[in-house]
């Protein structure tokens, strides 16, 4: 009876260990810097640079200001699914969202506010 209990305990420990290792091996696809082109805005096409980081299992991000002012805009919220991310931020007095969907390893497509097409390319280090 002790051998059966010991075998069951060992099997449970191995399963838990395998699950934990698998969970830690998965990386967030959208982590890193992304160069996003939003097409068709009233002021013309806009290039944006987003920096998305994983902080204690929760994504955090910034819209990086590439102008001389260098005032980065923090994300107010980030919602993430398997191959999709929604970035919420405030700019020019408006609360906006950008939805990106994975296209391949280094590219994503999406839309700004559901109205303007967006193309995203991962910035290689």
Query: With contact defined as beta carbons under 8 Å apart, do 35 and 123 qualify?
Result: yes
As a whole number, mean pLDDT of residues 62-76 equals 85
| Whole-number Å distance between alpha carbons of 23 and 121 | 26
For the cut 50, the answer to whether the pLDDT of residue 110 exceeds it is: yes
pLDDT of the residue at 28:
81
For the cut 80, the answer to whether the pLDDT of residue 121 exceeds it is: yes
Chain-centroid distance of CA 67 in Å reads 24
pLDDT of the residue at 20:
66
> How are the residues of the chain apportioned to helix, strand and coil, as percentages rounded to the nearest 5?
20, 50, 30
Query: With contact defined as beta carbons under 8 Å apart, do 90 and 75 qualify?
Result: no
Question: What does the longest C-alpha to C-alpha distance in the chain come to?
Answer: 76
CATH of domain 32-122: 2.40.128.120
| Whole-number Å distance between alpha carbons of 34 and 98 | 12
Interval 20-52: pLDDT, tens: 655 544 468 899 999 999 999 999 999 999 999
For the cut 90, the answer to whether the pLDDT of residue 91 exceeds it is: no
């Amino acid at each position: 009876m002790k051998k059966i209990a010991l075998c069951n305990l060992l099997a449970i420990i191995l399963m838990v260990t395998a699950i934990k290792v698998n969970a830690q091996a998965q990386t967030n696809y959208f982590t890193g810097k992304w160069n996003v082109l939003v097409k068709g805005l009233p002021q013309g096409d806009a290039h944006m640079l987003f920096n998305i980081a994983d902080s204690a299992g929760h994504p955090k991000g910034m819209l990086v200001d590439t102008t001389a002012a260098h005032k980065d805009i923090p994300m107010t919220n980030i919602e993430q699914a398997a191959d999709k991310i929604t970035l919420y931020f405030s700019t020019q007095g408006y609360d906006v969202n950008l939805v990106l969907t994975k296209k391949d390893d280094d590219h994503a497509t999406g839309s700004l506010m559901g109205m303007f097409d967006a193309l995203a390319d991962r910035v290689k280090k």
